[in-house]
Chains A and B, each alone.
Chain A
Amino acid sequence: MSDSLPHAPPLLTARGLSFARNDAPVFGPLDFAVDAGEALLIRGDNGAGKTTLLRVLAGLLRPETGRIEIDGRHTDAPARTRALAYLGHLPALKADLAAIENLDFLCGLHGRRRGQSADAAMRIVGLDGYQDALARQLSAGQKKRLSLARIWLSPAPVWLLDEPYANLDLDGIDLVNRMVQAHLREGGAALVTTHGAYAAPPVRTRELVLRRLS
């Protein structure tokens, strides 16, 4: 219902955002906005700066120029942490901990979405029965699913998903799409990078195409 508010600011806005590594521009300046209930599909070739863009948005990298707004308000990196959940290339799983222990720790670190439990999240991502399996025993696809469970449990409204489809089987790809769809229905937003070979989630989608800067 609050979605119908007139002139509500977008959930996430980038204004004149650019990033340079050793004075060599990587992307930008970019201007875009993502509304609640909307997904932004970030497409581009390898090396086009998709991952870098997400890392800048997450606050892991400092932008060269530009500003990032959450709900229309300018934010610095620490202030953004509550609004963003980041799925990167590294799974952030401890090999010697059980799957559920990993999830418990990451929930302790980032908080937990109201009414969700780690057990339920593992069921949703199709890892039921693997709760006590050590992370080292999981396959790459299962680790990805475990990371998706962490994202699902996060209370953050904006998901930053870097190549969420990598390593997943067809059922897993469908899982990502269903998760994004459910998240958007609840008023969240998602930024998804992909190099383009996968089906996009069936939701309101904007597209951002990055090209390699010479």
Chain B
Amino acid sequence: MNTASERSPRMRIAGAAPSLLHTARALLVRDLRLLWRRRGDALQPALFALIVVVLFALALGNDPVLQAKVAAGVLWVAALLAGLLALDTLFRGDAEDGSLEQWMLAPVPLAWLVAVRTFMHWATTAWPLLLATPFLAELMHLPRAQLPVLMIGLALGTPLLSLIGAVIAALTVGMRRSGILVGLLALPLYVPVLVFGAGSVVASAQGLDPVGPLLLLGAGLVVAMVLAPLTAAAAIRIAAN
């Protein structure tokens, strides 16, 4: 990103070009302010996950054995759906008011801004849920020995879901109504995360080593951290055309 124009003697209007950290901080501050202004909306995904888990606990009746069996699956599905619910807001608002244009014209890579925005999406949808997981697990009678496996799995899996979601949101950002398409695109990509995430807890419940599926989740996260922002940025540029 080293432009020749910067060194030109004719450009007397020079000012400080923002660094990667500067732009990241500006974007994070903006998103936190927006989050605070619309704190009712912001709580929606976490509340949704809470409702799903509580409803499951009630629907399954007073059967601790059955609840303990499905606990990991229910918590994982709740986390996944909560993330999916907030997916459409990831870039749509910024596309509609022209902010995305200004992102593209910023002197930092678009992929970097996409990565920061996705981090915010993960922080706002997954962190409240991660905090609530020990209590929800207790509600579902999940054996305490399996709680660390569930927590590690969610800590690795939810950012992976957000990154995959960012690519999907970027691919559909140019469309007016994308509800069904988002679901169709997300399903096959989310399934492996769910299988390994919930599978790790099941394996641990059966006395098997849960490290294998967790490592796969970690590997997936590393790959997604590199590729997802680049892919999403490319998709946004195509949508701008």
Q: Does B176 contact A (CB under 8 A)?
A: no
CA distance A91 to B241 in the complex (A): 18
Whether the pair A82, B30 counts as a contact (CB closer than 8 A) is no
B98: which A residues are within 8 A, CB to CB? Answer: 88-92
Most chain A C-beta atoms within 10 Å of own C-beta, residue among B3, B22, B103, B109? B3
Whether the pair B3, A75 counts as a contact (CB closer than 8 A) is yes
Whether the pair B10, A109 counts as a contact (CB closer than 8 A) is no
Q: Does B12 contact A (CB under 8 A)?
A: yes
Which chain A residues numbered 125 to 163 have a C-beta less than 8 Å away from chain B? 154-157
| Interface membership of chain B positions 27-65, coded 1 if the CB is closer than 8 angstroms to chain A and 0 otherwise | 101100110011000000000000000000000000000
Q: Does A111 contact B (CB under 8 A)?
A: yes
Q: Does A183 contact B (CB under 8 A)?
A: yes
Set A73, A107, A108, A116: member contacting B5, Cβ < 8 A = A73
Min distance, Cβ A142 to any Cβ of chain B, angstroms: 15
Most chain A C-beta atoms within 10 Å of own C-beta, residue among B8, B10, B16, B29? B10
| Interface membership of chain A positions 58-81, coded 1 if the CB is closer than 8 angstroms to chain B and 0 otherwise | 111110000000110101001111
Q: Does B146 contact A (CB under 8 A)?
A: no
Min distance, Cβ A43 to any Cβ of chain B, angstroms: 23
Q: Does A8 contact B (CB under 8 A)?
A: yes
Min distance, Cβ A17 to any Cβ of chain B, angstroms: 16
B14: which A residues are within 8 A, CB to CB? Answer: 114, 155
Most chain B C-beta atoms within 10 Å of own C-beta, residue among A70, A86, A155? A155
| Interface membership of chain B positions 1-33, coded 1 if the CB is closer than 8 angstroms to chain A and 0 otherwise | 101111011111111111000110111011001
Q: Does B189 contact A (CB under 8 A)?
A: no
Set A88, A105, A188: member contacting B29, Cβ < 8 A = A105
Known: A75-B3, A79-B1, A86-B105. A109 touches B8 (CB 8 A): no
Whether the pair A101, B5 counts as a contact (CB closer than 8 A) is no
Which chain A residues numbered 159 to 204 have a C-beta less than 8 Å away from chain B? 183, 186-188
| Interface membership of chain B positions 102-116, coded 1 if the CB is closer than 8 angstroms to chain A and 0 otherwise | 111111110000000
Known: A2-B10, A112-B16, A155-B17. A82 touches B97 (CB 8 A): no
Q: How many A residues, CB 8 Å from partner?
A: 54
Q: Does B209 contact A (CB under 8 A)?
A: no
Whether the pair B102, A106 counts as a contact (CB closer than 8 A) is yes
Most chain A C-beta atoms within 10 Å of own C-beta, residue among B9, B11, B37? B11
Q: Does A110 contact B (CB under 8 A)?
A: yes
CA distance A79 to B17 in the complex (A): 13
Q: Does A30 contact B (CB under 8 A)?
A: no
Closest to B99 in A: A92
Whether the pair A108, B26 counts as a contact (CB closer than 8 A) is yes
CA distance A96 to B108 in the complex (A): 25
Whether the pair B10, A92 counts as a contact (CB closer than 8 A) is no
CA distance A109 to B117 in the complex (A): 13
Q: Does A93 contact B (CB under 8 A)?
A: yes
Whether the pair A59, B5 counts as a contact (CB closer than 8 A) is no
CA distance A113 to B9 in the complex (A): 16
Set B3, B34, B241: member contacting A70, Cβ < 8 A = B3
Q: Does A118 contact B (CB under 8 A)?
A: no
Q: Does B240 contact A (CB under 8 A)?
A: yes
Q: Does B138 contact A (CB under 8 A)?
A: no
Chain A to chain B contacts (Cβ below 8 Å), 21 pairs: A2-B9, A2-B12, A60-B101, A73-B5, A75-B4, A78-B107, A79-B4, A88-B98, A89-B98, A93-B97, A105-B30, A108-B18, A108-B26, A108-B29, A110-B18, A110-B102, A110-B106, A111-B107, A113-B15, A114-B14, A187-B12
Chain B residues engaging chain A, CB cutoff 8 angstroms: 1, 3-6, 8-18, 22-23, 25-27, 29-30, 33-34, 37-38, 93, 97-99, 101-109, 240-241
Chain A residues engaging chain B, CB cutoff 8 angstroms: 2-3, 5, 8, 11, 36, 58-62, 70-71, 73, 75, 78-84, 86, 88-97, 101, 104-114, 116, 154-157, 183, 186-188
